[in-house]
Structures are given as structure tokens and as C-alpha cells.
Amino acid sequence: MVIVQICVGSSCYLRGAPKIIAKLQELVTDHGLSNRFTLKGSFCMEQCTKGGVTLLIGDDLLTGVVYEDIPDLFESKILPALRS
């Protein structure tokens, strides 16, 4: 099971968290991995000054994430964890 937390605090929300949530759900569904993936919304992770959206993938804190990063992030970080 892979747990991804995405910040939906004010800054991250305005910087595109809803679009990122939708894209992550789409990618996970397309790969038939929904039952191994949990996506949780989080309050502000106190990384607002770093731009973009903040995500926590397992123990890996990622800041400044934008929508365009999601396909690569999915391939490099989430997919390997889901398959392990």
C-alpha cells in the first residue's frame, strides 16, 4: 500500500492541488492499482514558501510540485512503490 498525502491548505489548493489529485487518481485507475493506493488530503505542511504543491509520498516530502510534474513523479516514485 502506498500512501500519498497531498496538501490542500490554502496555498497548495490555489496552486493546483485539486488538479493534481484528479491526475493521480486517473493514473492509478488507469494502471489498475486503486486498491494499493491511498490518497489523503492534508492541512498545510508548512512548506508554502517553496511554491507549487506539497506532497508526502511515503516518507518522501516533495515541495514545489506542479501539475506537469505528475506523470514523471508517478513513474519514478509512485509506480515502483506500488509494484514492490
Cα end-to-end distance, the chain, whole Å: 9
Site for ligand FES in 16-55 (CB under 6 A): 44-48, 54
User: Which C-beta is closer to ligand FES: that of 51 or that of 80?
Assistant: 51
User: Which C-beta is closer to ligand FES: that of 54 or that of 57?
Assistant: 54
Bridge-based pairing state of the strands 37-42 and 2-7: parallel
d(CA 1, CA 6): 16
Q: Least distance in Å: CB of 25 to ligand FES?
A: 19
Q: Least distance in Å: CB of 31 to ligand FES?
A: 26
User: Contact 62/74 with Cβ under 8 angstroms?
Assistant: no
* List of residues contacting ligand FES (CB under 6 A): 7, 9-12, 44-48, 54
